[in-house]
Structure 1
């Protein structure tokens, strides 16, 4: 009986192997679009004068090549109340910087980018944020009761509709973990957010250890940006694999003045941010 089962299994394996074939599928590629990464972060307690905007070109979904930096563009931000222009200097690596940004709470600003004779724009205002009131470590709130986690606390301002973006990044990690928050059901309350990392052999993820340092940022964002980043976080958090749904195109608030059909990707966001560092013991 054992011999029969082995032979049958072997025959089935041969059947599947013999049916294997390679199918080449032509995937249509869209024309590259301008990608605008314009996050104006005003750190609490700072002047907020140093800012950076990054420009690149989109690449095909299955292309593993690195991003294409955009140089030679004209980039400026205009303070809407008095039309003051802040020019961002081309650093010849896809980044454009200034040390003359004028940060004013609730002030509206307009972004203007000129690239290859096309004008791109966006607008927004600086959104305030409350302070982080406490940082501490624990093991009680997460999924693994033996794993370390970092906690932050803040008091949500009462009777004001607030939206938040929270970033956690252990020093040495390539990318931060992002969390979108709103106060629809927690208005005016003391809020606690925890973050833990679990062991994962497939991805190489490791738990927090004593001595690890985590950089944490709490940002105030607009409702429009909250809806945008929430979709991005949801799409980037998929499990992967050959049958995973390809992420859908998500439009930000940037537009093409010269050619509306050729809109850019990305977002022009202006936020006040409270940042802290935490050392695990």
Structure 2
């Protein structure tokens, strides 16, 4: 569990109140009582985990899409398979926004039955996406056919900035059994930036540069544990657009378990994957007219910078 303290986009995560409330209720019940709890149920929804973290020094985008289904309240999250290969359509545009050309990458399930899709190696043409492509204006469209329905999601590459410095501080937020991590990065002044910061342990923070545009920005993040000397902490800063930033913000606020927002969607938060079954115009990819028909999850291709520090 991690907590942060800064002058922008503060996020505090605490389960203490939740646990205290649960224990208080349990303590008031007799050991002989049997309580029937009705848990919420609905037809399974498709879950699409398609966050692709790009290292621009690597030759290819790490394309991987994971499909699963929602289950009942206490059940495991089952994997699921698409009806056919997944497709990622890449449309290239010039500076005036005119379409230059398009290409398609086919993703196959590997291994079979895993729900994990990656570029199909069985084509004569390489189905991988080169990282050099991220330097162009490209619209990426993910197409999934699943149980007779067609889903689509669209995204553009979101750049990030390197981490200038990580440092272990000696401050505390609530108690002494904490570890302060101070992170510093410099915002790019040439664009409006949004960031998703991964502090490890499935804990995330979102930030935007509204109040520090083009400046070096530093803040403290607090782990609610003391790490042993020699423990290595790794932090990643991911690029994001406004929609991905807002999506992650909702998940962070509503997530209350240790699985983290990218593991199991614990709340019905709409991402950017939509049901387009029967639509003739692929350019219209939204929930208009189908407010209740949508899967969970998100499709994003983002730049990632990492840094690590060893606890003294």
Corresponding residue number in structure 1 for 2:76: 66
Contact 1:122 1:255 (C-alpha < 8 Å) held by counterparts: yes
Structure 1 residues 193 and 141, CA gap change in structure 2 (3 angstroms): farther
Matches of 1:190 and 1:208, distance apart in 2:
28
1:31: which partner in 2?
A: 43
Secondary structure of 2:52's counterpart equals strand
SS of 1:45's partner is coil
Q: Which stretch of structure 1 is more off in the superposition, 212-221 or 42-51?
A: 42-51
* Residue pair 1:139, 1:146 contacting (<8 A) in 2 also: no
Of the three residues 227, 234, 244, the one matched with 1:208 is: 227
Distance in 1, matches of 2:37 and 2:202, equals 34
Counterpart among 69, 92, 105 of residue 86 in structure 1: 105
1:75 aligns with 2:86: yes
Distance in 2 of aligned mates of 1:219 and 1:27: 36
What SS is found at the alignment partner of 1:176?
A: coil
What is aligned with 1:203?
none
Q: Report the equivalent of 2:186.
A: 155
Aligned residue-pair number: 245
Q: Which residue of 2 aligns with 1:5?
A: none
Change (3 A) 1:141 1:218: farther
Between the aligned partners of 2:58 and 2:220, the Cα distance in structure 1 is: 27
Q: CA deviation at 1:44?
A: 3.8
Q: Which moved more, 1:129-138 or 1:42-51?
A: 42-51
Task: Please give the alpha-carbon distance, in whole angstroms, between the structure 2 residues aligned to 1:26 and 1:208.
Answer: 40
- Unaligned segments of structure 1, at least 5 residues: 1-15, 170-174, 200-206, 240-246
Structural mapping, 1:241-252, within 5 Å? 249-252=268-271
Larger Rg: 1
Q: Residue 177 of structure 2 contacts residue 224 of structure 2 at CA under 8 Å; is this kept in 1?
A: no
Distance 1:176 1:29, change over 3 A: closer
CA RMSD of aligned residues (A): 2.7
Which residue matches 2:60?
Answer: 48
1:139/1:145 contact within 8 Å kept: no
Q: Conserved in 2, the CA contact under 8 Å of 1:43 and 1:273? A: yes
Q: Offset at 1:151?
A: 2.2
Change in Cα spacing, 1:216 to 1:59, as seen in structure 2 (3 Å) is same
SS at match of 1:229: helix
TM-score of the pair, normalised by structure 2: 0.71
Gaps of 5+ in 2: 1-28, 93-100, 120-126, 259-265, 279-289
Do 1:127 and 1:271's aligned partners in 2 also have CA atoms closer than 8 Å?
yes
Contact 1:149–1:208 (Cα < 8 Å) also in 2 = no
Q: Deviations over 1:159-201 (max 9, x none)?
A: 53211000012xxxxx4210011111121221113333224xx
1:190 to 216, 229, 233: 216
Q: Tell me the TM-score normalised to structure 1 length.
A: 0.78
Q: How does 1:114-153 map to 2 (within 5 A)?
A: 114-140=145-171, 142-144=173-175, 147-153=178-184
